Amino acid sequence: MSEIPCCSGESRKQSDHESQPRYWRRGGWLLVALPLWFLVYHFLEPFAQWITASIFKLDLKSHLGASVTFFFFDTPKVLMLLTLVVLVVTYLQTFVSPERTRAILAKRAGAWGNLLASLLGIITPFCSCSAVPLFIGFVKMGVPLGVTFSYLVSAPTVNEVALLMLFGMFGWKIALLYAITGVTISFFAGLVIGKLGMESSLEPWVLEITYNPESVEEAKQSFSDRLDVAVQGVRDIVGKVWPYMLAGIAAGALIHGYIPESLLVKVMGKGVWWNVPLAVLIGLPLYSNAAGMLPIVQALIGKGAALGTVLAFMMAVISLSPPETIILRKVLRPRLIGVFVGVVTIGILVVGFLFNAIL
Amino acid sequence: MLIEVFGPGCMKCQTMEKHAKEAVEKSGGDHQVVKISDYAAMASRGILSTPALALDGQIKFQGRVASSDEILALIKG
C-alpha cells in the first residue's frame, strides 16, 4: 500500500508546476499576458455598451442604462488596472525595505528629513498592522519623531497603488496633484509635530525597551523570485480589496446614473466653501482602501464636483483610519494622537480649499 | 528547531503562522512554532515590518508572507 503515490490536490499542483517549461515559470508568461491585457482593456467600453444595449435592452442614455454601463465598464477596468499596477508596484517594492528607509532617515533632522520621509512614504510598502513595530524601530534608531511622523502620514496617504491607478484613469495631471498634495500634508504634519517637541508624549514602555536589533540576512533574489513575490502580492491585494472596489463601483454607478449634475455642482461645486470641511467630516470616520475610492472619485469628478473637495474627501477616507489610530494608541499618549489627527485634518482642509481656489 | 512567527494578528500574520505549521508538518521533524504578538517583544528584536519569521532566534523573513515551501527550505537548511 505504501508504494501507491500520494495523489492529494497539493502534490498534483506541485507536479503541474514542475512540468511547465523553465522559461515559462521564469516570467515568459508575461510576454503573452501583457499584450493580451492591453488588447482586452482596449475593448472594454464597447463591450460594456453592447452588454447594456443588447443583453439588458436598455437605452444607453437613460438613468438605468448609464448606471449599468458604468458598472460593466468600470468593474473589469478597475480590476484589470489594479492587477497590473499591483504587479508592477510589488515587484518594485522588493527593492525597498523599511530597513533601507530607516537607514536613509536616521539622524536626519530638519525639514530635509521631513521631505525625504514624505517622499519615501510613497513607494515603501506599508501595512497598518506594522505601524507600531515600525514606529518604535524608527524612533529607537535615531530617526527624529517629526520625521517618523512624516513617514507615518505619507505611507498610507500617498498610496502607490492609488497613484498609478489615478494615472491610468485620469492621466498624469491628477496623479501628480495627488502625490504633491499627500507629500505636502505629510511634510507639514511631521514638521509641526517635530517642532512641538512631543517626545514626552510617547508611552513610557517605548522609551524603556532595550533595543537589540538583529541583522536580517535577506537572501539574494533573482528576477523570477521577485516576480513570484509580485504575483503573490496581486493575489493578496486584489483578493482583499475587491469587495471595497465593487462597493465603490456600485456607488459610483448610482452617482453616474441618477444624481443630476446641477444638484452635484450646487453641493460639491467650487463656489461652495463649506463642502470641503463637510467632505472631511464625513470622510474621517470612514475607512476604505484607496482602490475602492477611485470609482467614486471618478463619478464625482465626471459630474462636475470640485477637485479640491473630492481630493479632500478621498484623503480623509484613506489617510486616517480608526483601526490605525487605535493601534498607534499603544505607543502614543492621547495628547500626541490628538495632535496627529488634528494636524493631518487641518492639512487636508487646507489642500481642499487651496485646490478649489486655484484650479 | 524553534520557529517564531511575529505579528499582531492581522490576516497576513495568521497566514504566515499557518505556512510555518505546514512546513513543519512537511518536514516531518520535531520543530516548534511559536506566535509572538507582543509589540514590545517584536520591537526589541528589531522587527520593523510584520509578518516576520525567525528560525532559531535569527530573523529570516520580514514584511511579507513566506510560502510554506520557502520555510521548509529554511528548515532543511
Other Cβ atoms closer than 10 A to A217: 8
Q: What is residue B22's predicted lDDT score, i.e. its pLDDT? A: 93
CA B58 to CA A313: how far, in whole Å? 44
Q: What is residue A169's predicted lDDT score, i.e. its pLDDT? A: 81
CA A309 to CA A43: how far, in whole Å? 32
CATH number for B53: 3.40.30.10
CB < 8 Å to B23, chain A = none
For B38, half-sphere exposure in the C-beta direction (CA atoms, 13 angstrom radius) is 9
Q: Which candidate from A206, A214, A217 shows the least CB-CB separation from B46?
A: A214
Q: Which amino acid is at B20?
A: A
Interface contact flag, A129 B39, Cβ < 8 Å: no
Residues of B acting as catalytic residues: 10, 13
The residue among B64, B65, B69 with the most chain A CBs within 10 A of its CB, best to mutate, is B64
Name the residue of chain A whose CA is nearest to B46's CA.
Answer: A213
Considering only residues A22 and A121, tell me which one the structure prediction assigns the higher pLDDT. A121
Judged against a pLDDT cut of 50, whether residue A183 lies above it is answered with yes
CB < 8 Å to A99, chain B = 48, 62
Mean of pLDDT values over A119-129: 78
Q: What is the domain count for chain B?
A: 1
The residue among A17, A93, A105, A130 with the most chain B CBs within 10 A of its CB, best to mutate, is A130
Q: What is residue A1's predicted lDDT score, i.e. its pLDDT? A: 35
CB < 8 Å to B65, chain A = 232, 236
Among A64-68, A209-213, A232-236, the range scoring the smallest mean pLDDT is A209-213
Q: pLDDT tens-digit profile of A260-294?
A: 888 888 888 888 889 999 999 988 888 777 777 88
CB < 8 Å to A331, chain B = 39
Q: pLDDT tens-digit profile of A314-343?
A: 888 888 778 778 888 888 899 999 998 998
CA A122 to CA A132: how far, in whole Å? 19
Among A50-59, A210-219, B40-49, B54-63, the range scoring the smallest mean pLDDT is A210-219
A191 pLDDT tier (thresholds 50, 70, 90): very high
CB < 8 Å to A136, chain B = 39, 43
- Give CA torsion, residues A133, A115, A311, A167, to 10 deg: -90
CB < 8 Å to B7, chain A = 129
CA A256 to CA A67: how far, in whole Å? 6
Q: Is B49 exposed, middle or buried (0-12, 13-18, 19+ CB in 10 A)?
A: buried
Average pLDDT, chain B: 87
Cell of A222: 533573482
Interface contact flag, A98 B9, Cβ < 8 Å: no
Intra-chain end-to-end CA distance of chain B, in Å? 11
Q: Which candidate from A98, A209, A217 shows the least CB-CB separation from B44?
A: A209
What residues contact A203, with CB distance under 8 A and at least 6 apart? Answer: A330, A331, A332, A333
Name the residue of chain B whose CA is nearest to A216's CA.
Answer: B59
CB–CB contacts below 8 A, A to B: 84
Which residues constitute the domain of residue B13? 2-76
Interface contact flag, A129 B7, Cβ < 8 Å: yes
- Going across the sheet that includes B2-6, the strands are B32-36, B2-6, B52-55, B58-62
CA distance A215 to chain B (A): 8
Q: If you compute the radius of gyration of chain A from its CA atoms, what whole number of angstroms results?
A: 23
Name the residue of chain B whose CA is nearest to A232's CA.
Answer: B65
Q: Which candidate from B44, B45, B49 shows the least CB-CB separation from A130?
A: B49
What is the DSSP-derived secondary structure letter of residue A332?
A: B
- The residue ranges of every structural domain in chain A are 98-206+225-358
Judged against a pLDDT cut of 80, whether residue B72 lies above it is answered with yes
Which residue numbers of B have CB closer than 8 Å to A's CBs?
Answer: 7-13, 39-40, 42-50, 54, 57-60, 62-65, 67
Strand B32-36 versus strand B52-55 pairing type: unpaired
